[in-house]
Amino acid sequence: MKHARLISIVTVIIVAAIYRILPHPANVTPVIAVALFSGAKLSDNWQAIFLPLGIMFVSDVFLGLHNTLAFVYAAIVLTVVIGFYLRKKSSSVVNVFLATVLSTALFYIVTNFGVWWVSDFYTPDLNGLINSYLAGLPFLQKSLMGNLFFSFIIFAGFHLAEIKFPFIQSRSV
């Protein structure tokens, strides 16, 4: 039943990713939750990395490509790597909470650095970098709340599905 588990995980990731292209509150998407879930539940590291990146790219084609995509995608890869930690330890509520907070902070740091680095919005000095981070603070709060919500829904929902449908419990995907 290895394929049933893989199909279940990929379905969860795709359904969550579709939310990104639907109307939603600014900075409230399941992107971080999907990357963490992918890293935690897919045992093939390349699948875990490229599945969320591929879905992000497809949705970015619809939403619009921009010059900070490399930073966004780098932050997603870092989040998947944090998900690898969840795979090795456990996807307990505390671990998922901590991984989500850490991933949100990393996403904020990497992407705001990217905005500062490649845009003309901020001066190319330390003050400009600080201003970029300050300007991003309101978005950080929304992102954290959304990331915690979606991480809880995805991880808890999948855990309940594993209980209800034991054939998807296999540890090797």
Q: Which domain holds residue 103?
A: 2-167
pTM of the complete model: 0.89
User: Do 7 and 173 touch, CB atoms closer than 8 A?
Assistant: no
30 Cβ contact partners less than 8 Å away, ≥ 6 residues apart: 16, 17, 19, 20, 146, 150, 153, 154
In a domain, 37, yes or no: yes
> 55 in a domain, yes or no?
yes
Can you give the pLDDT at residue 2?
60
154 near 15, Cβ under 8 Å? Answer: no
151 assigned to some structural domain? yes
**What are the pLDDT digits (tens) for 38-85?**
999 998 999 999 999 988 888 888 888 899 999 999 999 999 999 999
Instruction: Dihedral sign for Cα 160, 162, 164, 168, please.
Output: positive
Q: Is 172 within the bounds of a domain?
A: no
